[in-house]
Amino acid sequence: MFGLMVRFTCKDEASAEAFDRLVDQTIEQIRRHEPGTIVYASHRVDGRPLQRIFYELYADRAAFDAHEQTEHTRRFLAARDDLLASVEVDWLHLQTGKGTTQ
C-alpha cells in the first residue's frame, strides 16, 4: 500500500470555493476510473477555512503513478496552482491499520 497526505492552503475565499469545485470534479473521475485508488478523501480543516487536506491510499506505487498520468489528475494539477498559496506533501508508509492489507 502506498499513501500520502497533502495540505493545501487556498489564496482566499473565492479561491477556496473554486478549489472545492475542482476537487469535486476530479474525485468523481477518480471514483469512476481508478480501481487502484483505495482512498482519496478531501477534508476541510476546522477553524482554517482556506485549508484542505487530502488523504490518499493506493494499492501500490504503480497505482499512484497511474493516477498521476490520468487526464483528470493532470487537469487538476494544472488548474490548482492559480488557486493556492501553498502545498505541503507528506509521503506515508503504512505500518498497520484497520481496513488495510497490512
pLDDT digits (tens, 9 = 90+) for 41-82: 999 999 999 999 999 999 999 999 999 999 999 999 999 999
Q: Is residue 99 part of a domain?
A: no
Q: Is residue 33 part of a domain?
A: yes
In the numeric block, which cell numbers belong to residue 57?
491510499
Name the residue among 13, 2, 8, 9 with its Cα closest to residue 36: 2
Range of the domain at 25: 2-92
Q: Is residue 102 part of a domain?
A: no
Q: Is residue 23 part of a domain?
A: yes
Q: Which residue has the cell 482556506?
A: 50
Q: Is residue 41 part of a domain?
A: yes
Are 27 and 75 in contact, with CB atoms under 8 Å apart?
no
Q: Is residue 100 part of a domain?
A: no
Our count of domains for the chain comes to 1
Q: Is residue 42 part of a domain?
A: yes
Model pTM score: 0.92
Q: For 1-41, what is each residue's pLDDT tens digit?
A: 999 999 999 999 999 999 999 999 999 999 999 999 999 99
CATH of the domain at 20: 3.30.70.100
Q: Is residue 49 part of a domain?
A: yes
Are 57 and 38 in contact, with CB atoms under 8 Å apart?
yes
Q: Which residue has the cell 487536506?
A: 53
